[in-house]
A and B are shown apart, each in its own frame.
Chain A
């Protein structure tokens, strides 16, 4: 349906350019899916000479992949839980009230995702060495939780700011105490934002490589496994299979997060 305010329709050239942009963004993902089924295991020959499900079987039997996968899932879960607690606390403090120093605190809450990952990674490594920690599981979690916190905070604070203050006042006027107001008025309103933030944080952590390479020590998350496989490939098609699995594991929570925060559901009360 073309609305009338579009006073001028797009020319064919404009439509083609827009469509081409979209195809450019999607084609590489389809290529990697196709390559997971190729029968050719030495070169990146295109088009693949034949298709097979064999590599899924091979990947399934590889214990190193399962181990890396398990570590990534555990790290992402712990980092997301930490981020949800810390990010929500911060969002409730920052949503409305103004207080001295709020500007600098806001800056602190965007810094971990505003600065390039390599700086966060190297800084954490310098910090870990300065206090004499051994890099490992907890240092990976600490790094991930730091930027996941920002994601959760952004999601929740945006939702809190859209809740009319009159709702809280009405609840209090009707005799609810602070805890009841939080549980019955605020929590249901921020629930989807919280879930969406958590999903995004989980996906980001599961896929993170730039910071993790600095903080992981000898631990191998799935992205680190993948990265090392790029330089010392054992079985190339197995890498392609893992790529497809990673795409699925990261996209599922992200799609869920998207549907939880769709614009038409963002207005409180709908």
Chain B
């Protein structure tokens, strides 16, 4: 039954391609792009302060509110700062793991490491966040660990730090930061390992033959060649942190993050335009980040 159809289509390339593309494009075009436009339109509406209803007239009032209210600016800065800190930390923690699996491990051990990194990455997101709440809780694993080695005063000192501290790790920015780093670490390890695998061994040998110390080789040869991997990983860690609202609401201090603000404004606050405007912020920041990374030459070696 299908044979005459396929015979008819064979050779009619353009027709064949458009027939294949029609259903998926129709799906993404209407449901996804249509929704994105609806979202963008909402951000140019504003809410009437007296009736609390959305006025469907194009205006920049909501964006003005976003950039002029100090509380809103604080939320954006807080989220941005966290995203930068998490990205830097992920790069530092990921490097030894990626470096070992890419350049030192034999084939068997390498496969073990890849599976070892991918399994936790694919483990349920919500379960992992929840696990950290247990681990960081007042009587949780971390507190127990500090107590066992007699370092509880050290933990208390850290929690007394203004701003980043809190009553327990589970309700402080330190705890939130640890959870973010944990959650996105595999997204940094995998592209970094892929980039490090492509570093030719002969270059390292040449560098050491020419008298470079291991540290110099690392700084002048390995690091520049690993930059595309670091850049690719950092795009993940940066953008995932910017958009997340589960982690800050399950683990962390009372300060709002962009994602939480979006969720709260569309829900209990009923201010869809402000939620929409807030959700545009991560898109803009990610676009800025990408162009910055490109200008720094992060993608040149790809």
Query: Roughly how many angstroms separate A85 CA and B20 CA in the complex, as a whole number?
Result: 10
Task: Determine if B263 and A213 form an interchain contact, defined as CB atoms under 8 angstroms apart.
Answer: yes
- Asked if residues A122 and B31 are in contact (CB atoms below 8 Å), the reply is no
- A43's partner among B35, B106, B108, B139 (CB-CB below 8 A) is B139
A31 touches B6 (CB 8 A): no
Question: Which residues on A sit within 8 Å (CB–CB) of B6?
Answer: 177-179, 182
Interface of B is mostly: helix
Cα-based distance from A164 to B268 in the complex (angstroms): 55
| Band of interface residues on A | 35 or more
A90 on the B face (CB < 8 A): yes
Q: Is B250 an interface residue (CB 8 A)?
A: yes
Chain A residue at minimal CB-CB distance from B10:
A178
Q: Which of A17, A125, A149 has the most CB of B within 10 A?
A: A125
Question: Is B262 in contact with A26, judged by CB distance below 8 angstroms?
Answer: no
B242 part of interface (Cβ distance < 8 Å): yes
The smallest C-beta distance from B91 to any residue of chain A, in angstroms, reads 13
A63 within 8 A of B: no
Q: Is the CB of A10 within 8 A of B31?
A: no
Which of chain A's residues has its CB closest to B27's CB? A86
Map CB proximity to A onto B249-275 as digits: 1 under 8 Å, 0 otherwise: 010000000010011001000001001
From 223 to 251 in chain A, residues with beta carbon under 8 angstroms from any chain B beta carbon are 223, 226-227, 230, 239, 243, 246-247, 250-251
Pick from B69-77, B118-126, B156-164, B225-233 the stretch touching chain A.
B118-126
B28 contacts the other chain (Cβ, under 8 Å)?
yes
Give Cα distance in the complex from A94 to B21, angstroms. Answer: 8
Name B39's contact: one of A44, A111, A123, A142 (CB within 8 Å): A123
Q: How far is the CA of A5 from the CA of B110 in the complex (A)?
A: 15
| Residues in B whose Cβ lies below 8 Å from that of A45 | 139
Query: Which of A89, A108, A114, A226 lies in contact with B23, CB distance below 8 A?
Result: A89
Contacts of A180 in B (CB 8 A): 3
Contact A210 B246 (CB under 8 A): yes
- What is the predominant secondary structure among interface residues of chain A facing chain B? helix
Contact of B117 among A25, A117, A119, A145 (CB under 8 A): A25
Q: Chain B: residues with CB nearer than 8 A to chain A?
A: 2-3, 5-7, 9-10, 13-14, 17, 20-21, 23-25, 27-29, 31-36, 38-39, 41-42, 93-94, 96-97, 99-101, 103-104, 106-108, 113, 115-120, 122-128, 130-135, 137-141, 143-144, 182, 185-186, 189, 201, 204-205, 239-240, 242-246, 250, 259, 262-263, 266, 272, 275-276, 279, 282-283
Q: Could you list which residues of chain A lie within 8 angstroms of chain B, going by C-beta atoms?
A: 1-3, 5-10, 14-15, 17-18, 21-22, 24-26, 28-29, 31-32, 35, 43-47, 85-87, 89-90, 92-94, 97, 99, 105, 108-109, 111-112, 114-120, 122-130, 142, 145-146, 149, 153, 177-180, 182, 203, 207, 209-210, 213-214, 223, 226-227, 230, 239, 243, 246-247, 250-251, 254, 258
